[in-house]
Amino acid sequence: MSVEFASLLQQIRESSPPVAQVDETWAQGRATFGGLVAALLYEAMRNQVPHERLIRSFALSFVGPAGPGVQTYRAQALRSGKAVTQMEARLLQEDHTMAVALASFGAGRESAVVAPGHPMPEAPTADDCQVLPFVEGISPEFIRHLEMRWVFGELPFSGSSQRQMGGWMRFRKPQGEHLTDAHLLALVDTWPPVTLPMLKQRAPASSLSWAMEFIQPLPPLPSDAWLLYRAEVDQARDGYSQGRACIWSPDGQLLAVSQQTVTIFG
């Protein structure tokens, strides 16, 4: 019986120090799905920050592959000023650091500067898009919990020359009443690295670092709402690639901007 995303968040909120019991259905190769790691690191930090201070930026480095089982999360405030709190969090297994995150939480303030977010690109509805099913033994295990519908670019390992990739994404089942920043972090990492379609055959790749910028406040959405994701390659060489992505709500609101450095072994 797999442990649902909402239950893992609850484990983090209710334990001290924060601990989660992660099962094999959240695997991404030999490691735990990076989106889940990010969400649990965020939740460990969120507990220590005043609720009016919303997450503005989140940066994560994957130090080692976190396996299934007991995962301990440690969070601490590095500085808390009049409007912004700077936090650090770590994922530990057997006293080894597996991931480190830095995040900035800030309260809103009045400003004369107002600029709209990047507009959502035209896209067919999720119901009209290609379904990416979970295929036992082929799909990463964590896809049991998440659903994707392809819109932009080509599939991984297709030898594509296109620089864009993405589509619709959501949780397969409701995970609580509302979509939260933790849900958003998990969903964004559902998509494979944007450079994988450029490869002509299967080759391993893994995230080295990942950063997210949040547009606040998050609009009220159900926890299983469809979100649109579109990523673009910035550059790739020497076995590393950089890419950026934007995420929109179903009604076209920009929710977050993501940037990722990936190691490619092929």
Partners of residue 235 on adjacent β-strands? 242
What is the average per-residue pLDDT within 215-221? 95
Check the CA dihedral 122-125-126-129 and report its sign: negative
Check the CA dihedral 236-240-244-245 and report its sign: positive
Whole-number pLDDT of residue 193: 87
The model's pTM is 0.94
Give percent above pLDDT 90 in the chain.
78
Whole-number pLDDT of residue 74: 97
Whole-number pLDDT of residue 191: 92
Whole-number pLDDT of residue 199: 87
Using pLDDT thresholds of 50, 70 and 90, give the confidence band for residue 1.
low
What is the average per-residue pLDDT within 205-216? 91
Whole-number pLDDT of residue 29: 87
**Integer CA distances (angstroms), 112 to 55, 109, 115, 216, 265, in order:** 21, 10, 10, 17, 47
Whole-number pLDDT of residue 110: 84
- The tens digit of pLDDT for each residue in 90-149 reads 999 999 999 999 999 999 888 888 888 889 999 999 999 988 888 888 788 999 999 999
- The tens digit of pLDDT for each residue in 39-96 reads 999 999 999 999 999 999 999 999 999 999 999 999 999 999 999 999 999 999 999 9
Whole-number pLDDT of residue 26: 97
Q: Do 223 and 179 contact (CB within 8 A), yes or no? A: yes
186 pLDDT more than 80:
yes
11 pLDDT more than 70:
yes
Whole-number pLDDT of residue 208: 85
What is the average per-residue pLDDT within 18-30? 94
Per-chain mean pLDDT for the chain: 93
- Which residues touch 221 (CB under 8 Å, ≥6 apart)? 178, 179, 249, 250
Whole-number pLDDT of residue 133: 84
What is the average per-residue pLDDT within 255-265? 93
Bigger pLDDT: 33 vs 116: 33
Q: Do 98 and 40 contact (CB within 8 A), yes or no? A: no
Evaluate whether the domain defined by 5-107+122-264 bears CATH number 2.40.160.210. Answer: yes
- Which residues touch 125 (CB under 8 Å, ≥6 apart)? none
Long-range contacts of 116-124 (CB under 8 A, 24+ apart): 117/215, 117/246, 117/253, 117/254, 118/246, 118/254, 119/252, 120/228, 120/248, 120/252, 120/253, 120/254, 121/152, 121/228, 121/230, 123/151, 123/152, 123/167, 123/168, 123/228, 124/151
Sequence spans of domains, the chain: 5-107+122-264
